[in-house]
Each structure stands twice: as structure tokens, then as C-alpha cells.
Amino acid sequence: MSAEKIIGDWKKKHFKPVYWLEGEEDYYIDQVMQYAEHMILSESEASFNLSVFYGKDANWADVVNACMRYPMFAEKQVVLLKEAQQMKDIDKLESYIDRPLASTIFVVSYKEKKVDGRSKLAKMLKEKGEMLTTKKMYEKDLPGWTSELAASKGFNLNNKALMLLVEHVGNDLSRINNEIEKLAVNLVGRNTITEDDIEKYIGVSKEYNVFELQEALGRKDLAKAIRIIQYFEGNPKAGPIQLVLPTVYNYFSKVFSIFGMSDKSEQAVRGMFYNNPFAARQALETVKNYGFEGIERAILLLHEYNLRSVGVNDNGTSDASLMKELAAKLMS
């Protein structure tokens, strides 16, 4: 079951006695927990019928006792167990989950882990309640998801703004949501988010960022690549080497895979690059500039310099010096 379906059921006053929210993606778990805490009960009902526990500090018996109480002046009570993955003896909740109280809505947040699907607990949860299992979103799906999220708030991002935001934030849905909320507050009278807005309100330079460095390397524009690296040197948070090298490696790996495609048209390549025509054209230009052997060599160099950046076969060369050296070797 999805977070959207659970919340949709709650809006219709359709409740199960137990909800188990698990997995790697906090965004959807937090979304459901937020609704459960603030929207199921009215403010007056919540004062008597909302109990919130945290796994690190909670005792399983106290949680069960709270679940076994009957609601006061309301049809339902809500019991939330947050960060349940930190709770000791969590398996002792099985006795309650096996025989839950119909008037209690028990919602468990079990982040970064999943209950064993073969276990007795998993079978109980499927029989007595609902399970939400989340996983990290694939990188290729981030731009589409981000565009849809912005649209749901009444905004749209132009292509460059979208790429800047996704490249800067990465696979962190909660942070992407927060950044769009920040933009929404500042864009008075406008509904199109541009790269200038990303630069002004989020702090990502539209000229000096990983995306622009990737483009410069692909075009074999050494002068531009060095300018961007020098900017990173003066602004370490803008382009830490631990972010830059894996991102560029990922780019060249995608470009390398184009050689194995029977259809190398821009339309066919778009699917690997967020369906972005600009990114697809850039990738095809990189193919032309480097050729098969050049891309293969670039991937090996990126792997070597990534190891050097963490001290393997390197005696403390600065991050900026490593990246400048790498850029020169890539284009030689």
C-alpha cells in the first residue's frame, strides 16, 4: 500500500487498527506519520486521545497499555510509535498486533529497516493491519518526481533549474520538498522556477556547479573546468570532491553505455538522462569528443582519482589539485 492510499483512506474515515511503515525512504513514512499526528483527530480529541512514543525511550509494555485504552469523548484514539527501529524488545508488540483494539489506530514508524516477510510478525501485520514498505527512489526518476511535486504546489521548473536542484540535493525527497517550499515562499506573483531562483534562494551557483563541470569535461573545455574547480576550492561546500567525483563517474558510465545501444539517437538516449533533451545532446557530444577508448580511459581515471581522494596511493594532494590534474588528463 502507498502513502497516498493510506492517507486517502483516512480522509474517508476508513481505518485499520495497525499501520506498519518501514523501509529506506523517510519522506513517505514521515508524510503518513505527520497526517496521523495532526489530522486524524480534531484538536479537542487529540488532547485526550493522542499518545506519541519514541523507540529509543519507550517501553513495550507502556506502548501496549496505551493501545489497550479506550478513547475518551471520541470514536478513535491514535497511538504513534516513532523510530521503532531503536526500540528494545519490539517483538513483544506481537501479542497486541495479533489482537488489536478496533477503537485504536496504532501507527509504527520503522525506518531504514524492513521486517522479515517470512516472520510471524509480518504475517500478523498483513492480516490485522496495513504495511507500507518504502525504498529509495531511482536517480532516473528524481526529475519527474520533482516536477510533479512542484506542479502539485502550483509551480513548474524550467529544465536547467530542475537539473540544478536535483544534482545539488540528490536522492533526498524530504530535502527536495523543503527546498521547493522555500522557493514557493519567495516567488511572489510567479509560478515558474528558474536557475536564477535556484541560485538566489538555495545557494547553488548556476555557473559553478557539478552539472556545469560535467558539461565542461564532456566538451573538453579545460579552461572552463579549471575555473569551476577554482570556484570549488574557494567555496568547499559548493563542490566537495566526495560529491563531484562520483557524480562525474556516474555521468561517464552512462555515456559509455551508449556505445552498446543499437539506437543512438537523441530520443533513445534521453531515457538515461531524466528525459532531458539538453542532457541527451550533451551526452552525444561527449561520445563524439572522446570516442570509445577515451570514455573507457576516463572511467578508469575517475576510479583512480576517487581512490586518491580518500588517501589510497596519495600523500595528501589537495582536493582542488587532484581535480585539476584529473581534468587535464581526461582531456589530453
Contact call for residues 274 and 137 (beta carbons, < 8 A): no
pLDDT per residue as tens digits for the range 88-133 = 888 899 999 999 999 999 999 999 888 887 888 888 888 888 999 9
- Asked if 32 and 3 touch (Cβ cutoff 8 Å), the reply is yes
> What average pLDDT does this structure show over 8-14?
96
Name the pLDDT band for 43 (thresholds 50, 70, 90): very high
Interval 208-234: pLDDT, tens: 989 899 999 999 999 999 999 999 999
- Give the residue ranges of DSSP H helices in the chain: 3-11, 26-38, 43-49, 60-68, 94-98, 120-128, 142-152, 159-169, 173-186, 195-197, 210-219, 222-234, 241-258, 266-270, 277-309, 319-331
Greater confidence (163 vs 307) lies with 307
Starting at the edge strand that comes first in sequence, how are the strands of the sheet with 104-111 ordered? 50-54, 77-82, 104-111, 18-23, 130-134
Class of domain 210-331: mainly alpha
Amino acid letter, 171:
N
Q: Is the pLDDT of residue 155 over 80?
A: yes
Q: List every span in the chain annotated with CATH 3.40.50.300.
A: 3-134
Q: How far apart are CA 95 and CA 63, in angstroms?
A: 12
User: What percent of the chain is predicted at pLDDT more than 90?
Assistant: 77
The CB density around residue 195, as the number of other CB atoms within 10 Å, is 22
Q: Averaged over 31-49, what is the pLDDT?
A: 95
The larger pLDDT score, comparing residue 258 to residue 237, is at 258
Q: How many CB atoms lie within 10 A of CB 34?
A: 11
Report pLDDT for 151. 95
Place 311 in a pLDDT band, splitting at 50, 70 and 90. Answer: very high
| Parts of the chain belonging to CATH 1.20.272.10 | 210-331
Q: Residue 188: is its pLDDT beyond 90?
A: no
Q: Which of 276, 283, 228, 208 is nearest to 250 (CA)?
A: 283
pLDDT at residue 108, as a whole number: 97
CATH of 3-134, one of 2.40.110.10, 3.20.20.70, 3.40.50.300, 3.40.605.10: 3.40.50.300
> What is the model's pLDDT at position 189?
85
Global pTM exceeds 0.85: no
| Fold topology of 139-202 | Helicase, Ruva Protein; domain 3 (1.10.8)
Distance CA 178, CA 169 (A): 11
The pLDDT of residue 317: 94
Residues 107 and 38: beta-carbon distance below 8 Å: no
Using one digit for the tens of pLDDT, what is the confidence trace for 263-288?
999 999 988 887 778 889 999 999 99
User: Cα separation of 120 and 95, whole Å?
Assistant: 11
Residue ranges of the chain that CATH labels 1.10.8.60: 139-202
